[in-house]
Each structure stands twice: as structure tokens, then as C-alpha cells.
Amino acid sequence: MAIVTRPNPADAANVAGLPVDAISYEDLYARWERGNWSATELDFTGDARQWHEDFTEFERTAAIWNYCLFFWGEDAVADILSPYIDAAPREEQKYFLTTQQVDEARHAVFFKRFMQEVCGIGDGSMASGLQAVRPQLTIGFRKIFDRLDSMADELRADRSPAKLAAAVTLYHIVIEAALAQPGQHFICSYLERREQLPAFREGMANIAADEQRHIGFGVKLLADLRREDPVRVPRAVARTLREVTRYTSQVLMPPGWDERYVTVFGSTLDEVGVEGLTSMTTKLRSAGMAIDTLPGPALLPHGLAPLEIAQRGRALAKAGVIGVRESPTLRDRDTVALLFDTLRRQVNPEHGLSRPTTFQWEFTDPDVPTWHLTVSNRSSSVAEGDAPRADLRVRISWQDWVDIIGERLDPVRALATGRLRPRGNPLALARLAKVFPRG
């Protein structure tokens, strides 16, 4: 459930001259040639000594958990780049994407070597290393990379600018810019500060430079695709972001949400989350598609700073509201209040209601209180308890309502099966769909 925003008419004109236009595909290719490095020539002898002598047992556990995500991810992205190459409309774009596939394979070799030679994971073959790290993958990571696999299949069947833009958004903007880049900065910063793992640190710096080049290409390609199809490309970008960003808080999700897996190295989940959110929004703006101008339901709750958005996303994921729900959703007072405040911030400003309208949720669970939302012309408010007058009263279980919000339960199906029971003005149910349109 999210805010609908309309594209800014001036934005289309501004796309004609973007900073990314100063970089050519030929220049990006030339940077690849100048930045070539070897994953097989790094000497991990000193790293292996430091790994066993300087890292504590918990630090090794925490580091391996983090590095496993990168190892698996690098192999996964190397495997699915072929349909991107086929779908790219220009030869220069195809050539660069070919260099990116080489880069991703080199990154996977680098992590495989480190895992085996330093951490003792795998027998030296790629297959054994990947099999060994698979149990470490987080639920958010699995969801997003499963979507990457299916996106590649879709791109093989549909090479349109809109589908290519959706694929680039998932790969270059979400996976590389919002997830991988902050993780690389996190790793490089503590290794530099502690002066540890020199060969691994050198390799990570090389990977970060490669990824920066990949992201620059993705931003440029998105800008060009939008110029080619200024209607369907922004819609495809928005749909992709809306589909996968619900899982991003669960990608760097330590076992048991134990934040020591990050804080042991001097950083916080807040810092990584803010960097990821800022990176994503900056890249979209650079492509001429600022996140608050994308069509359809808005992607970010209104009126919150990046830190608040990152903290709220993590809190709702931990509570089992958004993302993958592995157990019953929390129903404590703070979680319920946070959810309804989020709903207040996600009201569609173009709801079209001619007068203030109140919607009330009466939960079948005895331990979850009634809440109501009043939508006015330019504002909305929520409060616990019965409203003086409710236009629509919805009878539903707390878990079913949360699953509708998390898009795990279809509201039409819930209505048809009696799990969602509205009472009051019949027109108010249609109005509720306008207040919270689904993308």
C-alpha cells in the first residue's frame, strides 16, 4: 500500500541533459581495459595467517556470513548477464555488458579462492564452495536473487526497452548500487582501519572499482531507455522497485537479527541501510527518474528522513509485516502503532475523496485493539480506538490484515472467502482501494 505520485512534466524535459550524458559507452569500455586486474595472482598467504591469529572466533563467523553473500551473488550475476547482452539495443552497450560478465566471473573466482585458501571453505572447486555457503544466504537475499533469475528468463522472451529497464533496475540499481556497494564500503572500511587481510582488501578495492563502473553504465542505460520510451520505462522501473524493495531490509539480516555481526566491525545496520537507500535514490535521480516522480504507488513513506526510513523498514521486517514472514507477525502495541503510522504516510494524495472519510479496522484478535484512519483533503490521521463515526468498518484478523499489507494475501480473495468483512457505506470500500492503490 503506497502513495501514488504523478511524474513531474518538467522531468521529461530535464532528461535531455543529464550529468550521465558526459560519459560515453566507449569511455566506460576504455575504463575497463585500464582497470583490468587478476584474481588468480593475489597472494593470500598473509591473509590466512591474520585470519587465524588476529580475528576472534566471532569475527570470523560474522565475516564469513557477510562474505558468503558476496560469493554467491557474484556467481549468480555472472550467470544471468547473457540476456542483457542480447537485449541491449546498441553494439557499444553489448560490448560493455560483455566486459561486465568477465568482471563478475573474476569476482566469483576471487571469492572462491579466498573462501578456500583462507577460510577453509570448499575443496577449491566453484561448485563445492557455492554448496558450502548456500546455508548462509538470508531470506531477503534469496528472494531478490530468485527474482533476478526469473527476470533473466523474462528478458530472453521480451527484449523491449521497458523489460530491459526493469532488468537493469533490479541488477544495476538494486543489487549493485543499493545492496552490494554499501556492503563493499563496509568491508573495505574496517579492513583498512584495522590494516588486515591485505590481499583480500586489494581484491575488494578492485571489485568496488568494477562495480562503480557497472553502476555508471546501468544509470546511463536507464536514461537512454527512458528517452526511447518515456511512458513504459518509468512504469517498469517503478513496478520492479515496488516488487523487490520490500525484501531489502532482510538481505543484510544477521542470524537472529544479532546486530553484533555488523557492530563487531565498527559499523551499524543503520549506516549500511542509509547508504543503500541514498545510493538507490541518487542513481535513479541521475537517470532522470527521481524516486518521487515515478508513476504509481510511492516507494518511500512520506515525511521521513533516510535514517528513519531505514530504521522503519528494518523494524517492520523484524516484526513480520513486510518481506518474508517466517513466523506470526508481532502484535505488540508498538508494532501496531508503527504500522498504522506507516499507513498514514502512505495515503494516496490523489484519492479523489470529496469529504473527510474514516476507515476503521476491528480486529478479531482480542489482544489487538481497534484502529481508525481519517483521510481528509490534504491530510490524514490515525488513532487507536473507535471513531465517533466510521464510513467503513472492516472486520479482519490481525495476521490477515498484515498479510494484505505485505502483499502475501490478495484482498479480493480475502473478501471472497469472508476473511475480510466490510460494513458500512458500500462505496467506502471502493474508496479504500483509491486511498491505498496497489501497484
360 contacts 428 by C-beta, under 8 angstroms: no
pLDDT of residue 4: 35
- Structural domain spans, the chain: 4-319, 333-435
pLDDT, tens digit (0-9, with 9 covering 90-100), for 38-93: 999 999 999 999 999 999 999 999 999 999 999 999 999 999 999 999 999 999 99
pLDDT band at 299 (very low <50, low <70, confident <90, very high): confident
Please list, in sequence order, all residues whose beta carbon lies within 8 angstroms of the beta carbon of residue 139, skipping any fewer than 6 positions away: 247, 250, 253, 323, 324, 326
> Residue 174 has what DSSP assignment?
I
pLDDT at 340 over 60: yes
Amino acid at 395: R
- Report percent pLDDT > 90 for the chain: 86
Angle at 317 between CA 412 and CA 349, to 5 degrees: 55
Helix (H) or strand (E) holding 233: helix 232-244
Give every CB contact of residue 201 below 8 A, 6+ residues apart in sequence.
Answer: 188, 191, 192
Look at residue 183 and tell me whether its pLDDT is greater than 50: yes
**pTM for the predicted model, two decimal places:** 0.92
Q: What is the pLDDT of residues 409-438, one digit of tens each?
A: 999 999 999 999 999 887 888 888 888 887
Is residue 12 scored above 50 in pLDDT?
no
Query: Is 256:199 a contact under the CB 8 Å cutoff?
Result: no
Q: What angle do CA 390, 402, 380 make, to 5 degrees?
A: 40
Burial class (CB in 10 A: 0-12, 13-18, 19+), 9: exposed
What's the pLDDT score for residue 296? 79
Residue 373 one-letter amino acid: L
In this prediction, residue 428 carries a pLDDT of 82
CA distance 152 to 158: 10
* pLDDT value of position 8: 45
Phi-psi region of 418 (alpha: psi -120 to 50; beta: other; left: phi over 0): left
Structural class in CATH, domain 4-319: mainly alpha
In tens, the pLDDT along 96-129 reads 999 999 999 999 999 999 999 999 999 999 999 9
Domain boundaries 333-435, corresponding CATH code: 3.30.1050.10
How much is the pLDDT for 439? 62
Q: Is 24 buried (19+), middle (13-18) or exposed (0-12) by CB count in 10 A?
A: exposed
What is the residue-averaged pLDDT of the chain?
93
